[in-house]
């Protein structure tokens, strides 16, 4: 739907809005699956597709109150680290999430949303995970570049110090 909307000349945000409205129209939420209000308690549950994902909202009592959001890299990293531990597929086709098996609490509610996305739309999740990782890799590349530049400067200073008098510029005689 997104591709169709983009081909029709819509901007990315307009295409997303149109796609989501069409999905809501084609697949309206069931009344029985409305989310339950409440704080961060162990008996809270999230809406699911007719029970296809079970346990996603069963927050362990030992977890702290979850903030709404954390950084995308942290949220996606938590999903990547915990998914194999906590998600099981049943023969019936249902997916069961055992949050109590997680090695660490989710960093935010949004991380649980990304966990749900990784179950329902794995290709979309992989795309988001790749982007989040690229941002982290990009930051790491900047730091690597800075370390190399600093090392090059140190080498230049050491070359200058190799003159007759240690610690003085061989050209002007000033202390380095």
- pLDDT for 73-114, tens place per residue? 889 889 999 999 999 988 877 899 999 999 999 999 999 999
Looking at residue 45, its pLDDT comes to 41
Domain ranges across the chain: 46-120, 134-176
DSSP 35: P
**Burial readout 128-158 (b: 16 or more C-beta within 10 A, e: otherwise):** bbeebeeebeeeeeeeeeeeeeeeeeeeeee
Looking at residue 165, its pLDDT comes to 53
Give the global pTM: 0.50
* Among 49, 121, 45, CA closest to 79: 121
Q: With left for phi above 0 and alpha for psi between -120 and 50, is residue 65 left, alpha or beta?
A: beta
On average, the pLDDT of the chain sits at: 78
Extract the tokens encoding 161.
Answer: 């110090």
Contact 56/33 with Cβ under 8 angstroms? no
Looking at residue 163, its pLDDT comes to 55
Confidence of residue 71 (pLDDT cuts 50, 70, 90): confident
Looking at residue 135, its pLDDT comes to 58
Extract the tokens encoding 115.
Answer: 């966990």
Looking at residue 104, its pLDDT comes to 94
């Amino acid at each position: 739907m997104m591709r169709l909307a983009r081909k029709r000349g819509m901007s990315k945000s307009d295409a997303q809005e149109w796609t989501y409205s069409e999905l809501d129209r084609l697949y309206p939420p069931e009344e029985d699956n409305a989310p339950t209000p409440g704080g961060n308690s162990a008996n809270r549950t999230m809406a699911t597709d007719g029970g296809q994902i079970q346990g996603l909202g069963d927050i362990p009592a030992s977890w702290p109150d979850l903030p709404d959001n954390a950084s995308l890299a942290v949220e996606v990293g938590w999903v990547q680290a915990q998914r194999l531990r906590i998600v099981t597929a049943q023969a019936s086709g249902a997916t069961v999430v055992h949050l109590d098996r997680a090695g660490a609490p989710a960093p935010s509610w949004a991380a649980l949303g990304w966990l749900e996305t990784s179950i329902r739309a794995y290709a979309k999740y992989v795309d988001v995970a790749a982007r989040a990782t690229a941002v982290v890799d990009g930051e790491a590349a900047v730091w690597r570049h800075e370390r190399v530049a600093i090392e090059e400067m140190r080498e230049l200073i050491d070359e200058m110090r190799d003159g007759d008098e240690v610690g003085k510029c061989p050209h002007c005689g000033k202390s380095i």
